[in-house]
Structure 1
Amino acid sequence: MTEPVYVTKTRTAYDTVADSYAETLKDALDASPWDRAMLGTFAELVGETGPVGDLGCGPGRLTGYLASLGLDVFGVDLSPGMVDAARWAHPQLRFEVGSLEALALDDGGLAGALAWYSLIHTPPELLSSVVAELARVLAPGGRLLMAFQVGDERRHISQGYGHEVSMDAYRLQPDFVAGLFTAAGLDVEARLVREPEPPHEKTPQAYLMARKPS
């Protein structure tokens, strides 16, 4: 099966910027109480009920943070470069190369799934199948937390973290994402929209948390 062009472009772009991305954002969580609040709530609700997947983990900065909160967490990312950076930064944790479109995980195997800006490169018309895949790997009672930029437009990215790249990113409306969750059989529990935090953000940011019914 031929890989979609957007997947290839996304992998290539993140392989290109992996080391610069990891260095630039390594301490970003320290300056974002809203991010920490949502991740902390997610960690408290999931607790020790089972494994958690940081799906689209990048260099593993949030994987490491969730582990520090006591979760049994591992990371998956499309980019081998990002996975290498994550393994270097967090050698005690497990990281694997994989695609969110077809996760190499059993049905119902996760107590929690984190999709932190990892669905923003998927065209909106294709997101329903990706969200359904995330729902598939959640156990009954398991939770999904997603973060994304708010808006309606497609943005082409040609420069990133000091490198030339070529990929698209999509801004999404919370109601649209909530509808995808509902269609996948998940119950939306919470949503938060906040103003952008400079210097890395230019648009409002959203978080949605959902639970798979028991």
Structure 2
Amino acid sequence: MSGALVSGLLAGLGIAMPVGAVGTYLVAVTARTNLRTGAGAALGVATADGLYALLAVAGGAALVPVLRPVLVPLRIVSGVVLLALAVHAAVKAVARHRARAGTGPAREQTPLGPRRAYLGFLGITLMNPLTVVYFTALVMGGQGASLTDLPRQSVFVAAAFAASAAWQLLLASGGALLGRSLTGDLGRLLTATASSALIAALAVQLLASVTPP
């Protein structure tokens, strides 16, 4: 049982720690809203990782050929969505900064709440079925022998979710600290545009890397 726990924790960290466009967007959203919203977004990402870990231990290698035909379309959709989000965030930040010019500080509006953030980030992360391929490779390549029954499989999935959630919440906490340290309008404008540029660059890189399966 301890082997399944350790394997799940390592697998969850392995898929969560590389900070790509979704992780960058998570930090940016938390910086301009609040930690509750960021936590909702973080748990959305972790839920997707947990669901894909569950699919991997439940379906194993049989899922890979089923998913292969949709890998490229979903990665393209994911890249386009992230690019659109980056552009939208930058435009909104510039418009908000111009509206405030000469009027003094104003209370930051946060229409994106924890529930919407959770569902939005869950959807974005589910667009990357390579996650289930990653978990399947781990399960079939070396961990399959230790995941022979339902209790061990459940521990593996729960540990993978917990590890991913812990890392994503750490990113959200960093975004909250960043948001509190940049309370001025100019600071928030620069942070929003810089993060949008980074997200857009990562999204373009994702689209450029798409090759037929």
TM range (shorter): under 0.3
- TM-score, structure 2 length as denominator? 0.26
Higher strand residue share: 1
Higher helix residue share: 2
Structure number with greater CO (CA < 8 Å, separation at least 6) is: 2
Rg larger in structure: 2
- TM-score, structure 1 length as denominator? 0.26
